[in-house]
């Protein structure tokens, strides 16, 4: 049985998702762990469930989503994957972080493989379909897990809106078009798993997108 664990990490509270089978394979989405307590929390969970993390995959390359990429790849020997269009973002992640007053725990590694639209990321019995949704960044992707109806959207979707497109690599003309239309091809049975743990619309409404 495929299970899902969410961690809300780093000062920006970015969700790290772990899809796993007890005692078996695991895929880590958005390695956002930042400090020692967060790395320890993740490691305790991995050890408790005897997991083997074989894939670390990113929805996009902004610094807050790759804080822990270097350290976690080294710790677990996992393959690191991202869309090729965001190669420039991960190459500049250190400078992005510095602009906001942060330092990366370790350098972001070069990807082992690039994610492509329509391809699948597989580990054991876990399979995720890649959906390219440029807008928040040129290489922004979502991951669809059809058996449970999970759709991991990264920063593409927020409550009642789309993610920002004015950050490095943002593509305003595509964000509300291509990104939104791509999600229409997923089955109706789906649960949106977004990136930000504590997003609240400015008008005070509850967030209709599951966290």
Model confidence pLDDT, tens digit, residues 169-199: 555 544 444 444 445 444 444 454 544 333 3
What's the start-to-end Cα distance of the chain, in Å?
21
| Right CATH for 3-194 from 3.60.15.10, 3.30.70.20, 3.90.45.10, 3.30.1380.20 | 3.60.15.10
Six-digit token string for 46: 């991995």
Q: How many beta carbons lie within 10 A of that of residue 161, not counting itself?
A: 12
Model confidence pLDDT, tens digit, residues 126-169: 999 999 988 888 999 999 998 888 889 888 775 555 555 555 55
How far CA 116 is from CA of 2, 50, 133, 201, in Å, comes to 23, 30, 11, 32
The domain segmentation of the chain, as residue ranges, is: 3-194
Angstrom distance (rounded) from CA 186 to CA 7 = 25
- pLDDT category of residue 207 using cuts at 50, 70 and 90: very low
How far CA 148 is from CA of 23, 67, 143, 154, 191, in Å, comes to 20, 28, 12, 18, 8
Angstrom distance (rounded) from CA 211 to CA 194 = 6
DSSP string, 90-112: HHTHHHHHHHTT---SSPPPPPS
Model confidence pLDDT, tens digit, residues 25-69: 999 999 999 999 999 999 999 999 999 999 999 999 999 999 999
User: Please, what is the average pLDDT of the chain?
Assistant: 81
Angstrom distance (rounded) from CA 99 to CA 162 = 24
Q: What is the dihedral of CA 182, 131, 211, 76, to 10 degrees?
A: 180
- pLDDT category of residue 78 using cuts at 50, 70 and 90: very high
Helices (H), the chain: 36-48, 69-76, 87-91, 93-99, 172-174, 180-184
Six-digit token string for 106: 């370790």
SS3 string, 147-180, reads CCCEEEEECCEECCEECCCCCCCCCHHHHHHHHH
Percent of the chain with pLDDT over 70: 74
Secondary structure of residue 45 in the 3-state scheme: helix
**What does the pLDDT read at residue 71?**
97
């Amino acid at each position: 049985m495929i299970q899902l664990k969410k961690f809300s990490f780093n000062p920006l509270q970015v969700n790290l998702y772990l899809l796993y089978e007890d005692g078996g394979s695991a895929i880590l989405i958005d390695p956002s762990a930042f400090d020692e307590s967060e790395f320890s929390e993740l490691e305790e969970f991995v050890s408790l469930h005897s997991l083997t993390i074989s894939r670390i995959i990113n929805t996009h390359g902004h610094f807050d989503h790759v804080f822990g990429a270097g350290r976690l790849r080294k710790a677990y020997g996992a393959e690191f994957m991202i869309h090729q269009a965001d190669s420039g973002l991960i190459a500049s992640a250190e400078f992005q972080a510095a602009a906001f007053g942060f330092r990366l725990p370790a350098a972001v590694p070069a990807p082992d493989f690039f994610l492509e639209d329509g391809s699948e990321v597989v580990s054991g019995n876990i399979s995720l379909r890649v959906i390219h949704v440029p807008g928040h960044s040129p290489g922004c992707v979502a991951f669809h897990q059809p058996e449970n109806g999970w759709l991991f959207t990264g920063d593409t979707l927020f409550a009642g809106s789309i993610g920002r497109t004015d950050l490095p690599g943002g593509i305003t003309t595509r964000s509300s078009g291509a990104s939104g239309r791509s999600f229409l091809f997923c089955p109706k049975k789906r649960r949106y798993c977004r990136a930000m743990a504590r997003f609240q619309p400015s008008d005070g409404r509850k967030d209709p997108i599951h966290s």
